[in-house]
Amino acid sequence: MSTTSAEIKPGKASLFYDPKIRGYVYQFALLAVVGFLIWSAASNAIENLRAQKIASGFGFWHNAAGFDVNQKLIPFSASGSTYGQAFWVGLLNTLLVASIGIVLSTFLGFFVGVARLSSNWIVSKLAMIYVEVIRNLPLLLQLFFWYNAVLKPLPNPRQSIELPAGALLNNRGLYIPDPQLGPGGSLIVWAFLIGIVATFVFRSWARKQQAATGKQYPTGWIGFGLIVVLPTLVYFITGRPITFIYPELAGFNLRGGIQIFPEFVALLIGLTTYTAGFIAEVVRAGILAVSKGQTEAANALGLRSGPTLKLVVIPQAMRVIIPPLTSNYLNLTKNSSLAVAIGYPDLVQVFTGTVLNQTGQAVEVVAITMAVYLTISLVTSLFMNIYNKRMALVER
Amino acid sequence: MGTGPGLAELNRERENPFHQTGDNNMKKVMRAALLAAMGACVAGSALAQGGGTLAQVKGKGTVTCGVGPGLAGFGIPDAQGNWSGLDVDLCRAIAAAIFDDPAKVKFVPLSAKDRFTALQSGEVDLLSRNTTWTMSRDTSLGLNFAGINYYDGQGFMVRKKLGIDSALKLAGASICTQQGTTTELNLADYFRNNKMKYEVVAFASNDETVKAYESGRCDAFTTDASGLYAERLKLSDQSEHIVLPEIISKEPLGPVVRHGDDAWLDIVKWTHFAMLNAEELGVTKANAAEMLKSENPEIKRLLGTEGKFGEAVGLSNDWAYRIVKHMGNYGESFERNVGAGSMLKISRGQNALWTKGGLQYAPPIR
Amino acid sequence: MTDATTEMAPYAFVRKETLEQQPAPLSVAGPLAWIRQHLLSSPLNIALTLLCLYLVIDSVPGLIRFYFLDAVWSGTNRDACLADKVGRPVGACWAYIADRFQYFIYGSYPINQRWRVNIVFVMFALGVAWLLWTSAPKKKLGIFFFFVLLPISAYVLLLGGAGAENFLRTCMIVTLALAALYVILSFVPQIVRFYIGDAALAVVEQLPVWKRFFGPKQLVLFALVVFAFLSLLASGPGLPRVDTGLWGGMTVTFLIAAVGIVFSLPLGVVLALGRRSRLPIVQLLSVIFIEFVRGVPLITVLFMANTMLPLFVPQEYSPDRLLRPLVGVALFAAAYMAEVVRGGLQAMPKGQYEGAMSLGLGYWSMMRLIILPQALRIVIPGIVNTFIGLFKDTTLVTIVGIFDFLRTIEATLVDPTWATPTTRATGYAFAAIFYFLCCWGMSRYSIAVEKRLAAGQKR
């Protein structure tokens, strides 16, 4: 676009060469082409749907589903539940695996990223091998590996591996004891919640005190006392009201306890380790972006390497880390759709798989699924942008 | 990058304008020509044709037949890519009736999830792959079922060492199934009716389902009984698994065509009936030529030596003779693919002719 | 100080010759010091070192024993890999890989036609080497080969049949027509005076006949050679049609990756330009497309391509089953490519744009001659990284029923011929080696290019 030349000699340019007019013409042509494409796709779709007598619209949402799902966070059964409820079951399963995966992969990723920069040769080499291997293999292959080669060959329920605290592991999943609250048991939960809130309050108070007087308080120990010791005390005071239902063999499977399905575990391990490989690189790049002078200055002030990392390096590195970290979180959420390959009932498996096949309404089902992921993506980016701005404001 | 005979025409039409402007600017010409060529390569995926399916099939010179992605006895390719099976035989019989050549079939392997879209979109001319005839499929998907070439029902396969002999003892079991099938719904119904609890593990592909069952993830594997026998062949320790006696559903399997093309529906329907009638009348692949001289009026009408029944459906009058000559009758096809002559060794049972106590019954050619 | 004074000096203890250099003390140099510094510098580090050593010693010998020492290298069926049949502990069953190797490469492609796939492989390797080898001659020719001739050849060779041969014939006719055009132009360049202008014409006329319009002539000649080669194959051994349902294995994996890069890169450049455009509608449409595609998982795009694409076109043009995921992957990769290219465009100093404009170049000439060559060069590492992602993502087509390499591995795992306790570990290890070598090789290349580019920026 030669806007500049047009501004200098506006009189000379003929209508044909006027960049403004040209711009309008180009845009109009593009709009016309895109509009035509959309129109023809839509009219073809309507024509095809009518010819094939496929129902359209979202009426199927309230129809009875008639199938079962093994892992469900809300009540769902073949009798009486609708396709709409199947959608929520799938969505919640997606969100469950994504949120746990995000937390775990953040920890693992930071750990590996810091390990790669460790002065310990063997630690940094092992971290490098981990990152290289994980990042250069397709996630689907890793999921197949975890599911088919690691979890499926576990022993059958009759020969379950016994883990500490009454948990059992077999090829049907991990069974952990199910805690049951007796009379007064809710007090423990309250104590736990109060402990958490009190810890936060104390921490912000301690910070203010430190800023004002320079006096430091052992926030870590007090937090531990509030969150762990307090509920434990309440537990004993109320006369140990928590009982556990232990899993035990009944018929084919184990009964009782909380069952964590192997599909879920495989997906979680796969997503966590895969994303952690990428987060590790992000963290490493972020830490390397903090100039060495900062570390040296911190050392000169007498800070040890732990506090240096915690108080000087990481806060500055976070500014570099957060944007790519966000996109890795989103990737993890999107990658959770690979669940369909190993039979974990996530949104894609339940909704784009079973519901699409039972109703045959491809357009509506795929559109809803895409809209869900798009919403998750946009909302996450929005929050991360806000957070990012807050971090950036600290800069002078 | 699809193709079709239409490509050449498309390109020839596009050439001329470029030649006219050719001497104006060579670089643009070359770029445009190559772009057009690539565009044609991408766009030209199929030939636009009018008329019914039969006219299209005759135009293409092949029947495009949607089959299963590999179910022993019903439709499975060998290492060289040659398809065989009961459903495959029906496709070949249709090709034989139209072209007098059973090889003029193009097989498109379709998963359970894709099969109806493929038929609806015109990608295949008919679907012959273990598809259960249900009311909703017949009425709301824009499909027509052209008969029942195998009466089936859903069953369960379990390991022998579980020591159970009835599906009613499966309470609390984990059950592997393939998603997107009627199987998933029948399973839910059965356990609900019998007030038993169970844990369903659903997979997108049949292979994954079988693998999960084999590895012990599930206690039982459920699909159509014929499928259970076929899948058992794939297990490394076949004798360790048994099929439970309960059949929990009616699964009439048959070929499917698009709604609205009755002439094509007739051809598919009557190809199946011709094979049944041939068995009933004792016409086989071996004696078909001899039977042409038969005096039995029913055989004469079947083989086209009397009457003009073939012309009525748009084929030649010896259409049924062609079918039997190339593919044999229904009984032969059954024995060869799933019966005693095959690895599956399924007994005729419900699929015997009505004269022998089964359900296979064809209207007369008259 | 003079020499004499030194000699006469009373300090007898002053050495006259230089002392032999001593090795550094063991505590700061040499292997021991290295170990101390890198492995045992603090109690925490000692603990970490011991933990890591334990991990290595615990896993590595076992892996070596499983995959090499106890492995079975030859055999014809599962009996070769069953411990009780062989009478010794059995590790990886490489015999199974050897037995199924052809299947992993070609899928069910007819055996007597597999030479066609091989030719495409060779051409692909040639094209990749041409583009990636930074000092290869005739880069433009290489780009033309990779982005135009290779797709045409691959289409004609892999699919074959009457349609492909007609298409080849058309390409041949177009090329021949262009060749004739350039022969005429070489002798009478005056014809195109009004297109290239008087000045350029004068330059052209100075050249000897055979050197006029040398660049385009080269391309046409090259295309002619390739098409003649294909025609020779078509008329000699013949190219019967091989339906896409039979394609499989690494062929399909490479095909999807190649289609992804060939179509996504130009499309990505267009989208990036659109996003940076000053025309609001162009910008809006580009942003919508890019953000939409980047916001959804590839699987849903593949599902959409698989189930919705056939609905969006008239029934008689229903796309081939392999074509659908190819379209999906190409569009998906284009959105990511667009963001990478946009990074390059943004990194261009404004002076480059202004310089180009002050020379009187129009938008497209400016982009083609000044901006894109520089912008694309600095984002080569980004492009390669996107491509690594694309290559890994090709595995997802498994889910919509395409027989890519990973699917062929999975398919052989359910085959009772080779059902042994170690087959699965072997198959996955083989797949891992394949994907790792491809992706790791590409990432090394990307790092090398990055270093080369950085070297140019150093002062």
Each of the 459 residues of chain C gets a pLDDT tens digit; together they read: 455 555 555 677 777 788 888 888 777 777 888 888 778 778 888 888 899 899 999 889 989 998 888 888 888 888 888 888 888 888 888 998 998 899 999 988 888 889 999 999 999 999 988 888 878 788 888 889 998 999 999 999 999 888 888 999 999 999 999 999 888 888 888 787 777 777 778 888 888 887 788 888 888 999 999 999 999 888 888 888 888 878 889 999 999 999 998 899 999 999 999 998 888 999 999 999 999 999 999 999 998 888 888 888 887 777 888 899 999 999 999 999 999 999 999 888 899 999 999 998 888 889 988 999 889 888 888 899 999 999 999 999 988 888 899 989 988 887 777 878 888 889 999 999 999 999 999 999 988 888 888 776 655
pTM of the predicted model, to two decimals? 0.81
Q: How far is A370 from chain B (nearest CA, A)?
A: 19
Question: Chain A contact for C389, CB < 8 A?
Answer: no
| C386 touches C340 (CB < 8 A) | yes
Output the pLDDT for position A53: 67
Closest chain A CA to residue C389: A138
Q: How confident is the model at residue A396 (pLDDT cuts 50, 70, 90)?
A: very low
End-to-end CA distance of chain A: 38
Q: How far is A252 from chain B (nearest CA, A)?
A: 5
Give the CATH fold of the A83-177+246-393 domain: MetI-like fold (1.10.3720)
Q: Coil, strand, or helix at residue A171?
A: coil
Kindly tell me if the per-residue pLDDT of B49 is higher than 70.
no
Chains that touch B (3 or more CB pairs under 8 A): A, C
Facing residue for A137 by CB, picked from C279, C424, C432: C432
Token pair in block for residue B95: 């090709």
Give the whole-angstrom CA distance, residue C74 versus residue C87: 15
Question: Chain C contact for A154, CB < 8 A?
Answer: no
Give the whole-angstrom CA distance, residue C84 versus residue C76: 16
CA distances from C153 to A6, A165, B207, C222, C267 (A): 46, 64, 35, 13, 21
Give the whole-angstrom CA distance, residue C385 versus residue C440: 10
Output the pLDDT for position C10: 66
In the 8-state DSSP scheme, what is residue A149? I
Output the pLDDT for position C456: 66
The count of CB pairs under 8 A between chains A and C is 158
Output the pLDDT for position B79: 66
If you average pLDDT over residues B322-329, what whole number do you get?
Answer: 92
A334 sits in which H/E element: helix A314-335
Name, in order, each residue with C-beta under 8 angstroms of B97's C-beta and a sequence gap of 6 or more: B267, B271, B274, B315, B319, B320, B322, B323
Average pLDDT in chain A: 85
Cα angle C199, C202, C207; round to 5: 135
Match 């690979």 to its residue by tokens.
Answer: A338
Token pair in block for residue C229: 């080669």
Give the whole-angstrom CA distance, residue C173 versus residue B42: 19
Per residue in A229-269, pLDDT (tens digit) is 888 888 888 877 778 888 877 777 777 788 889 999 999 99
B203 sits in which H/E element: strand B199-203
Distance of CA C244 to the CA centre of its chain: 23
Residues of C in contact with B180 (CB under 8 A): none
Output the pLDDT for position B254: 92
- Tell me whether residues B45 and C319 touch, CB distance under 8 A: yes
Facing residue for B3 by CB, picked from C164, C216, C306: C164
Closest chain B CA to residue C316: B48
Distance of CA A388 to the CA centre of its chain: 18
**DSSP collapsed to 3 states, chain C:** CCHHHHHHCCCCCCCCCCCCCCCCCCCCCHHHHHHHHHCCCCHHHHHHHHHHHHHHHHHHHHHHHHHHHCCECCCCCHHHHCHHHHCCCCCCEHHHHHHHHHHHHHECCCHHHHHHHHHHHHHHHHHHHHHHCCCCCCHHHHHHHHHHHHHHHHHHHHHCHHHHHHHHHHHHHHHHHHHHHHHHHHHCHHHHHHHHHHHHHHHHHHCCHHHCCHHHHHHHHHHHHHHHHHHHHHHCCCCCCCCHHHECEHHHHHHHHHHHHHHHHHHHHHHHHHHCCCCHHHHHHHHHHHHHHHHCCHHHHHHHHHHHHHHHCCHHHCCCCCHHHHHHHHHHHHHHHHHHHHHHHHHCCHHHHHHHHHCCCCHHHHHHHHHHHHHHHHCHHHHHHHHHHHHHHHHHHHHHCCCEHHHHHHHHHCCHHHCCCCHHHHHHHHHHHHHHHHHHHHHHHHHHHHHHHHHHHCC
Chains that touch A (3 or more CB pairs under 8 A): B, C
CA atoms within 13 A on the CB side of B274: 33
Kindly tell me if the per-residue pLDDT of B1 is higher than 70.
no
Per residue in A260-310, pLDDT (tens digit) is 899 999 999 999 999 999 999 999 999 898 888 998 999 999 988 788 888
If you average pLDDT over residues B294-304, what whole number do you get?
Answer: 90
Q: Residue B132 CB: number of other CB atoms within 10 A?
A: 21
Kindly tell me if the per-residue pLDDT of A351 is higher than 60.
yes
End-to-end CA distance of chain C: 45
Output the pLDDT for position B12: 32
Q: Residue B20 CB: number of other CB atoms within 10 A?
A: 9
Q: Coil, strand, or helix at residue B284?
A: coil
Residues of A in contact with B142 (CB under 8 A): 51-54
| B243 touches B228 (CB < 8 A) | yes
Output the pLDDT for position B35: 47
Domain ranges in chain A are 3-52, 83-177+246-393
Closest chain C CA to residue B120: C315
Kindly tell me if the per-residue pLDDT of B51 is higher than 80.
no
Name, in order, each residue with C-beta under 8 angstroms of C300's C-beta and a sequence gap of 6 or more: A337, A348, A352, A366, A369, A370, A373
- Tell me whether residues A27 and C282 touch, CB distance under 8 A: yes
CA distances from B218 to A96, A324, B235, C414 (A): 24, 41, 14, 16
Per residue in C106-115, pLDDT (tens digit) is 988 888 889 9
If you average pLDDT over residues B306-315, what whole number do you get?
Answer: 87
Residues 325-384 of C with CB under 8 A from B: 326
- Tell me whether residues C392 and A137 touch, CB distance under 8 A: yes
Q: How confident is the model at residue B46 (pLDDT cuts 50, 70, 90)?
A: very low
Q: Which of A5-9, A36-40, A69-73, C177-181 has the lowest mean pLDDT?
A: A5-9
| A76 touches A332 (CB < 8 A) | no
Output the pLDDT for position C199: 78
Output the pLDDT for position C7: 56
Give the whole-angstrom CA distance, residue B112 versus residue B71: 12
If you average pLDDT over residues B146-165, what whole number do you get?
Answer: 90
Task: Give the β-pairing of B76-77 and A178-181.
Answer: unpaired
Residue among B206, B88, B185, B182 nearest B132 (CA): B182
Q: Kindly list the strands in the beta sheet with B256-258, ordered across the sheet, starting from the edge strand earlier in the chain.
A: B105-109, B63-67, B126-127, B256-258, B143-145
Give the whole-angstrom CA distance, residue A309 versus residue C95: 51
Output the pLDDT for position B20: 34
Average pLDDT in chain B: 81
Give the whole-angstrom CA distance, residue C246 versus residue C252: 10
Q: How far is B39 from chain A (nearest CA, A)?
A: 16
Token pair in block for residue B308: 């003009």
Give the whole-angstrom CA distance, residue A340 versus residue C299: 9
Facing residue for C303 by CB, picked from A135, A136, A366: A366
Higher-pLDDT residue of A20, B331: B331
Closest chain A CA to residue C310: A45
Question: Chain A contact for B258, CB < 8 A?
Answer: yes
Output the pLDDT for position A394: 53
For residue A170, what are the β-bridge partners? Answer: A173
Give the whole-angstrom CA distance, residue B250 versus residue B256: 17
